[in-house]
Chain A
Amino acid sequence: MVIERILIFLLALVGFSAIVGAKNIIKKVFGLNLLNSAIVLLYILEGSRIGEQAPILGEGVTNIVDPVPQALMLTAIVIGVCVTALALALAVRLYKATGSLEIDTISARLHSEQ
């Protein structure tokens, strides 16, 4: 149980380190994606600690898992992909403007333009 959480935590950490440390802006967006999936995994994993059946009521269903985190994560996944799309569009725009994907080069070129 603790091992699973630590693995998820490592996934989040890997994602966050890419956001902070990667030079390539598309890799930064990858990192954001990973960070998001780590949190989704955490919610779903912990939400299924109670109960044994999928939360679809029907004949013989008595012991369902907690459906609240699942519903929350549907929203979170969608918001995550929206932000990803926007970030990538911005990244493409930055590339077209500066001809580079490295964050430092982009920033330097934009500021020298001023």
Chain B
Amino acid sequence: MTILLLFLILSLGSFALLSKDLLHSVIALSALSMLSALMFTMLKAPDVAITEAAVGAGISTIIFVWAIRHTRRRSKD
């Protein structure tokens, strides 16, 4: 199960870096955070899971979206 989750996380991470649309990357990253939070609950780390969900899927996403709104959404690579 953890292997499957890790595999998903890895592919989401690669997608975030390969996508030419930065907003898609941000969504992928926040999904990645949620998946890791799920994994942390499975690994008996509820505290880390809450933090990861609040920070990774919450604040980071807000800041990333803010940065992208202020710059350009398209990336050349």
Contacts and interface: CB of A to CB of B under 8 A. Distances in A.
A95 B72 contact: yes
Contacts of A41: 6, 9, 36, 39
B14 A14 contact: yes
Main secondary structure of the interface of B (DSSP, over half): helix
A77 B54 CA distance: 11
A89 to B, nearest CB: 8
B17 interface: yes
B44 A55 contact: yes
What class of interface size applies to chain A in its complex with B? 35 or more
Interface string B31-74: 01100100110011111100110011001100110111011100
Given A31-B17, A40-B36, A102-B76, A78 B68 contact: no
Contacts of B16: 30, 34
B17 A14 contact: yes
B45 A33 contact: no
Nearest to A22: B77
A66 B35 CA distance: 22
Interface of B: 2-3, 6-7, 9-10, 13-14, 16-17, 22, 25, 29, 32-33, 36, 39-40, 43-48, 51-52, 55-56, 59-60, 63-64, 66-68, 70-72, 75-77
Interface of A: 3-4, 7-8, 10-11, 14-15, 18, 22-24, 26-27, 29-31, 33-34, 37, 40-41, 44-45, 47-48, 51-56, 64-65, 70-71, 73-74, 77-78, 81, 84-85, 88-89, 91-92, 95-96, 101-102
25 contacts: A14-B13, A24-B22, A24-B75, A26-B64, A27-B17, A29-B64, A30-B16, A31-B17, A34-B32, A40-B48, A41-B9, A41-B36, A41-B39, A44-B45, A48-B45, A53-B44, A65-B44, A74-B51, A77-B48, A78-B55, A84-B63, A91-B67, A95-B70, A95-B71, A95-B72
